[in-house]
Structure 1
Amino acid sequence: MSQTAQSQNLPAAVKERSPFISALVDFWKAFRKNKPAIIGAVIVFFFILLAVFANIIAPQGINNQNINIRLEPPSAQHWLGTDSFGRDIFSRIVFGARLSLRVGFFAVIGSIIFGTFLGVIAGYFGKVIDTVISRFFDILLAFPSILLSIAIVSILGPSLNNALVAIAIVNIPVFGRLVRSRVLTVKEEEYIMAARSIGMGNTRIIFNHILPNSFAPIIVQGTLNIATAILDAAGLGFLGMGAQPPQPEWGTMLSDSRQYITDAPWTVLFPGLAIILVVIGFNLMGDGLRDALDPRMKN
Structure 2
Amino acid sequence: MTQASLDTGSGTQLKEIKSGPWRDGIRLFMRNKTAVVGLVIVLFFVLLALLAPLITPYDYTAQVLSERLQSPSAEHWFGTDDLGRDIFTRTIYGARISLWVGLLSVVGSIIIGTLLGLLAGFYGKWVDMIISRFFDILLAFPGILLAIAIVAILGPSLQNALYAIAIVNIPTYGRLVRARVLSLRQEEFITAARAIGVRDSRILLRHILPNSLTPIIVQGTLGVATAIIEAAGLGFLGLGAQPPDPEWGKMLSDSRQFIQTAPWTVIFPGLCILLTSLGFNLMGDGLRDTFDPKLKNR
So what's the TM-score if we normalise by structure 1?
Answer: 0.95
Structure 2 CA distance for partners of 1:12 and 1:87, relative to 1, 3 Å: farther
* Equivalent in the alignment of 1:223: 221
User: Aligned residue for 1:146?
Assistant: 144
The aligned residue for residue 87 of structure 2 is 89
SS class of match (1:295): coil
Q: Which whole-Å CA distance do the structure 2 matches of 1:143 and 1:3 have between them? A: 68
Amino acid in the other structure paired with 1:98: R
CA shift, 1:60, in A, is: 1.2
| Other structure's SS at 2:169 match | helix
Deviation of residue 238 (structure 1)? 0.2
Structure 1 stretch displaced more, 200-209 or 219-228 = 200-209
Residues in 1 aligned to 2:135 and 2:4: alpha-carbon distance in whole angstroms:
54
Q: How far did residue 269 of structure 1 move?
A: 0.5
Instruction: In structure 1, give the amino acid aligned to 2:193.
Output: A
Q: Aligned to 2:21, which of 23, 37, 44?
A: 23
Q: Which runs of 5+ in 2 are unaligned?
A: none
**Unaligned segments of structure 1, at least 5 residues:** none
Residues 89/177 of structure 1: CA separation in 2 closer, same or farther (3 Å cut)? same
List aligned pairs for 1:27-106, cutoff 5 A: 27-106=25-104
* CA apart distance, 1:273: 0.5
Percent identity of equivalent pairs:
60
Runs of 4+ in 1 over 3 A off after TM superposition: 1-4, 6-17
Distance 1:4 1:148 in 2: 66
CA offsets 1:269-294 (integer angstroms, 9 cap, x no match): 11001000000110000000000011
Note the aligned Cα RMSD (angstroms): 1.6
Superposed displacement of residue 59, structure 1: 2.8
Q: Deviations over 1:23-48 (max 9, x none)?
A: 22101111112111111110000000
- Residue 258 of structure 1 is matched in structure 2 by 256
- Tell me, in whole angstroms, the C-alpha distance in 1 between the residues paired with 2:213 and 2:204: 12
Distance 1:126 1:219 in 2: 24
Per-residue deviation, 1:5 = 1.5
1:105-161 Cα distance to aligned partner (Å, 9 max, x none): 000000000000000000000000000100000000000011000110011110001
Is the partner of 2:20 in helix, strand or coil?
helix
| Deviation at residue 11 of structure 1 after TM alignment | 9.7
- Give the deviation of 1:4 after TM superposition: 6.4
The one-letter code sitting in structure 2 at the alignment partner of 1:95 is Y
**How far is the alpha carbon of 1:226 from its aligned partner?**
0.3
Number of equivalent positions:
296
Q: Secondary structure at the match of 1:297?
A: coil
Question: What is the TM-score normalised by the length of structure 2?
Answer: 0.96
Matched residue, 2:6:
5
Pairwise CA distance, 1:6: 3.2
